[in-house]
Amino acid sequence: MKKILLSLLAALSALGPGAVCSAQEETPPQYKVYGFIRNYLVFDSREVDAGTQDLYFYMPKDVKMVDGVDENAVPSFRMLALTSRLGLNVSGYRVGETKVNGTIEGDFYCMSGSMAAFRLRQAYMGILWDNMELGDLLLNIGQTWHPMAADLPHVTNLETGAPFNPFNRSPQIMFHWTVGKFTWTGGILYPMQYLPVGPATTTTPVWSVVADKYKPVTTYGTTKSADYNKYGMIPEVYLGVTFQSGGFLSRIGVNMFSSMPRWEAPAVRIVDEQTRELAYDVADKSVLRTRLFAFSPLVYLQVTGRNFQLKAKSVLAQSGEHMNLLSGYGVTFDWAKHALAYTPMRDWVSFLSFQFGQKFQFLGMLGYMQQLGTTKAIFADTSAIRPLWLNTSADERIQRAFRATPTLAYNVGKLTFAIEYNGTAAWFGDGARNRGGLFETGHWVLNHRIQQMVKFSF
């Protein structure tokens, strides 16, 4: 451990003011432009919750019966030339004993409406010290894939396995220390595009006939926002270790996520002691500063052969909505301290994927997710305080889901033709939730998606 710390300090000191190198010690960087042009044709057997003109597919919509007819059982077809990508890799630059590379990447994406805008997808630098006494140290700084999401399944769809696999790119500072066949990873992250959910406080003036003047009225909605971390002051943390030998790779890790859902909300008071019902006391000038902590471990395995690759990942997520999982957290109460608290929703998400062949390829994914309930009892749905905050990208009553995506692909040089069948079944809860945030009864809804893709890479 002492050698590791000394080597780390020596590497970091190479970036300090004292490490001034002459021009002769610099190696100029090399540049490479890359990207692809991609087109999709998509058929759905029913209405779905999806983004980017329905290309980023989450889940099917629930049954909506009107006069004996399911209004959501409507097939649809779309053809879109969105999500093309352009990037620049910078490599080969060396100053002294330090190697530096970088990537900046953008793509077209419908953030809102039907107009595709060019957005920043990745922008990060890698600083490498590969001549240290004990192993190699790589420091990545910038926006790139979240370590929980980096191992993507073999699919051609835009959502790349979500919500059965974490999907998140975030600003981060991440160390990767490689010693022999082991790589130790650790660092901090901050949410940007993929955000946690929580309560939104809105205060509007409302005319009071009794007082003959406008009085402020506060309402509480829901929103996705980085403010829950911004004012919480504690960054997201990831720690993990990877073992790689030949074509075998295994990884274990854990992600710690902390947020402060209410940093400026009024205090909570008891409305009815007998039923233990609560409400926000807008007359109380004190504020809630209760914090949520969530821990999400993962296990990942990968086997690579000459013409095939097999991947498997399992995540026991807590409050993983910022990773595009169908997760969130609930509101609980410490009756002994008369203090409001938060409890994460636990979700189990797993996938198994494979790819076989080179010119002609057969690939696909099997995915399964299930909510396991909150770690502590939440308020009942009849409470004056909302008991549960979940990912709003799909129906909040989805408690479990299954997906299968068998795919055929044909590669001609840099040109790829692929057709994918995506069968996704979601279980929607019926009635009220129990105190663990789960439904006792429900029903399945199945969507059939057929997606054809043409991509030219360069």
Q: Where in the chain are the domains?
A: 27-457
Average pLDDT over residues 178-207: 86
Residue 87 has pLDDT above 70, yes or no: yes
Backbone angles phi, psi at 23, to 5 degrees: -65, -30
Question: pLDDT averaged over the chain?
Answer: 88
Distance, C-alpha 263 to centroid of its chain? 23
Of the candidate ranges 64-78, 311-325, 341-355, 379-393, the one whose mean pLDDT is the lowest: 379-393
C-alpha to C-alpha distance for 405 and 411, rounded to whole angstroms: 19
- Summarised one tens digit per residue, pLDDT across range 337-361 is 667 789 999 999 999 999 999 999 9
| Placement of tokens 């997760």 in the chain | 327
Q: What is the pLDDT of residue 4?
A: 47
Backbone angles phi, psi at 11, to 5 degrees: -65, -45
Enclosing H/E stretch for 394? none
Kindly tell me the burial class for residue 161, based on how many C-beta atoms sit within 10 Å of its own C-beta (0-12, 13-18, 19 or more): buried
Give residue 94's region: left, alpha or beta (phi > 0; psi -120 to 50). beta
Q: Cα–Cα distances in Å, from 343 out to 29, 283, 329, 378? A: 49, 26, 6, 8
- Summarised one tens digit per residue, pLDDT across range 363-397 is 999 999 999 999 999 877 666 677 889 999 999 99
Q: What is the pLDDT of residue 138?
A: 97
Q: What is the pLDDT of residue 92?
A: 93
Q: What is the pLDDT of residue 262?
A: 77
Q: Does domain 27-457 have CATH number 3.10.20.30?
A: no
Average pLDDT over residues 90-96: 93
DSSP-derived letter for residue 8 is H
- Among 436, 365, 439, 435, which residue's Cα sits nearest to residue 398? 439
- Among 388, 303, 406, 309, which residue's Cα sits nearest to residue 344? 388
C-alpha to C-alpha distance for 137 and 11, rounded to whole angstroms: 8
- Summarised one tens digit per residue, pLDDT across range 406-455 is 999 999 999 999 999 999 999 999 999 999 999 999 999 999 999 999 99
Residue 63 has pLDDT above 60, yes or no: yes
Q: What is the pLDDT of residue 204?
A: 65
- Predicted confidence band of residue 199 (pLDDT cuts 50, 70, 90): confident
